[in-house]
Amino acid sequence: MKKTDDAEKLAKSVKRLLLIIFLVLAPVFQAAAQESTEAAGASEPLTETMAHLVLQIGIILFAVRVGGGLVKKLGIPSVLGELLAGAAIGPYALGGLWFPGFPQGLFPLGGGSLAVSTELYSFAAVASIILLFASGLETDLGLFLRYSAAGGVIGIGGAAFSFAAGALTGALLLGAPFMDPRCLFLGILSTATSVGITARILSDQKKMDSPEGVTILAAAVFDDVLGIIALAVVLGIVSFLTGNAAGTTLNTGTILGIAGKALGIWLGFTALGLIFSRKIAIFLKLFNSTFDFSILALGLALILAGIFEKQGLAMIIGAYIAGLSLSKTDIAAVVQERIHGLYEFFVPLFFAVMGMMVNIKEIFSGPVLIFGAVYTLSAIAAKIVGCGGPSLLLGFNLRGCIRIGTGMIPRGEVALIIAGIGLASGILDQQLFGVIILMTLITTLGAPPLLSAALKFPGSGTRKPVKDDNSASMVWEFNSDEIADLVIDTLLNNLKNEGFYVQMMNIDEGLSQARKDDIALSITEEESKVTIVTSHVDMPFVKTAVYEVLLDLYEVVQKLKDSSDPQSMKLDLLDKNGRTREDLLSLIKAESIILNLQGNTKEEVITELVDLLALQGKLENRDLTLAAVMQREQTMSTGMQQGIALPHGKTDGVSAMAVAVGIKKDGIDFDAVDGEKSRLFILVVSPRKVSGPHIQFLAAIGTVLKDETVREQVINASSPEKAAELLRKER
């Protein structure tokens, strides 16, 4: 209830704010639009520009959902599907084709170095801020500072080697000096690591808590922070080079001065953010609603992003620092949850816009393919050597070295953001942008099979036995997804209270990791099954933690049983004043009605109705469907009062909601709440993981059958068609 009230208050506040802004700024916008139109002659009026923008955003949202969903079915990260979807509908492909009312296409080429309109790119810029703000919130500062010396050394090695390899490759192939802005950008783009893919593979291979797995995840945190620092320095150097009209040479002293300024700004704001993080959180919490302070936290990220951009550094650096500053406060998890909707809206849009900037003709040209192949190979080799090499000095053998190196190969979101910055600023051209896209695609797609092969090769990755190279796993099978969700949520919360750092490595696939000191837990939820992988010596801790969770939940359930009586609540469920809808009741078909049921027991009647749906091809799996309905019946009888029974269930045995109706004039004992025999049976089955009006249908049909006249007419109907007509009639 409180969340609903908060949402309503937030909605009202936003409406009032938008109205005030509109009233204040409308004359300004109108005057500006008129001046712009007069100055440019044939320029597009503001209303036309905005209409075009909202149409484009709507198309993009559908494209990214379809593209992301399709590639996920192939086991490929959805970000690549969103990127490819953008390329497909962009100005260099379908978006540039003539369309009624859009002679230059739905996504015409933008001006300057951008392939899209300034307005659309502005949305992408906001998306990049949200993405890096969320990344900062998820960063484990404690892990960065304390967790693993090996992770720090390997992260530094990977970043240094990758930057050098990327910049040198650019210098060689472009015939430019090492300090050329293009080479510097190629260097910084080579450092970014996307560890989400690696985490999924480590979990699948039960290696998340192995020495290699823990080291990779620790190194990835260092890699992220070092990449942001390096970007600040590179942007400072690029700003000097591109704005140096006086011809001042870029000597060592100048470079150190620029690096010192960039690092000073980064470290200064980071230190201030961390020192005052609790006070910032206290200030934000003055806005009592969790929605209010979460949105204001994002507002803080936007302000800091603007400040950094004004200082010649990237906006994403300021956004990352804002998230990092709040990452250890008690509002971090709440902010993440509250901005999740914005994240899901904006971030896929960002990747689509990046895809739109890809000139498909250029990317498949000979020079780009050759440059891309060389650059990609250098990026892969740099991670293997830069991350794997130092591991040889830290107790790992050659096998472990290869595993760590391949685990750090994938590039992802941050690389695309930096590439977009380079393209928008004119430092990168379409060919170099295509090279970067190729590198991102190949490293993301190529890393999984390489790492899987390295992990499957038998033998330990360390020279000496560590704490316990052989991991152990425990599996708990619960009766439903809902129970598994509840157990996982409670467990993760308890682990946080124990001082563990908990990270959702892959929300869609139910993969989490919890770490504290040298304890690492890999937690996976697959439907109703929960699996936890850790070392043998830490398994007693895991068992105890799960036991305490189940004990807590058992106590909560007992209190729920003591404070409520579902059986008596059934008496109030049927209400003739309830809402009925024609589209819901239309699910009742004459061919799915049996006027004379043969069954004489509850089990026989339910089986007869399920078999009717199976005979009509409405079930994917008859046995699963029957089991789901019977399981619901065991929880509490669906026998209502006045001769009505509403057996129902959610199951993977159906792909769409289905309804069957049965009549038994003599009635049978269905454990009805009023003790009377049941004569009219409405069976409802729905897909378990697909949203649908399951409860709404039950309420609507209960309203229909509460009318005694209708109920008796249905029971005594002369034909299935007549019964269906009576049941479908909206009241």
What is the C-alpha separation between 214 and 232, in angstroms, rounded? 28
Which of 96, 113, 111 has the alpha carbon at shortest distance from 361?
Answer: 96
Which of 603, 724, 602, 586 has the alpha carbon at shortest distance from 657?
Answer: 586
What is the C-alpha separation between 462 and 659, in angstroms, rounded? 60
Single-letter amino acid, residue 726:
L
Q: What string of H, E and C letters represents the secondary structure of 664-695?
A: EEEEECCCCCCCCCEEEEEEEEEECCCCCCHH
Do the beta carbons of residue 137 and residue 327 sit within 8 Å?
yes
The DSSP call for residue 516 is E
Do the beta carbons of residue 51 and residue 117 sit within 8 Å?
no
What is the C-alpha separation between 293 and 281, in angstroms, rounded? 9
648 catalytic? Reply is yes
3-state secondary structure (DSSP) of residue 526: strand
Single-letter amino acid, residue 728:
R
Which of 508, 513, 484 has the alpha carbon at shortest distance from 496?
Answer: 513
What is the C-alpha separation between 547 and 557, in angstroms, rounded? 15
**The tokens of 263 are what?**
């690092």
**Among 52, 340, 648, 694, which one carries the catalytic annotation?**
648
**The tokens of 149 are what?**
């010396």
Report how far apart, in Å, the C-alpha atoms of 566 and of each of 123, 210, 637, 697 are: 49, 48, 11, 19
DSSP strand pairing (593-594 vs 658-668): parallel
Do the beta carbons of residue 284 and residue 293 sit within 8 Å?
yes
CA end-to-end distance (rounded Å), the chain:
31
CB-facing half-sphere around the CA of 539: CA atoms within 13 A: 14
What is the C-alpha separation between 467 and 168, in angstroms, rounded? 41
Q: What string of H, E and C letters represents the secondary structure of 87-110?
A: HHHCCCCHHHCCECCECCCCCCCC
Q: Which residues contact 668 (CB under 8 A, 6 or more apart)?
A: 599, 600, 601, 602, 605, 677, 678
Do the beta carbons of residue 324 and residue 276 sit within 8 Å?
no
Dihedral sign for Cα atoms in the order 176, 179, 184, 190: positive
Do the beta carbons of residue 582 and residue 730 sit within 8 Å?
yes
What is the C-alpha separation between 225 and 155, in angstroms, rounded? 9
Q: Alpha helices, DSSP H only, in 276-397?
A: 277-284, 290-310, 315-326, 332-338, 340-356, 360-363, 366-391
Angle at 314 between CA 276 and CA 240, to 5 degrees: 115
Which of 135, 121, 129 has the alpha carbon at shortest distance from 319?
Answer: 129
Dihedral sign for Cα atoms in the order 312, 314, 317, 318: positive
Single-letter amino acid, residue 356:
M
Catalytic residues: 648
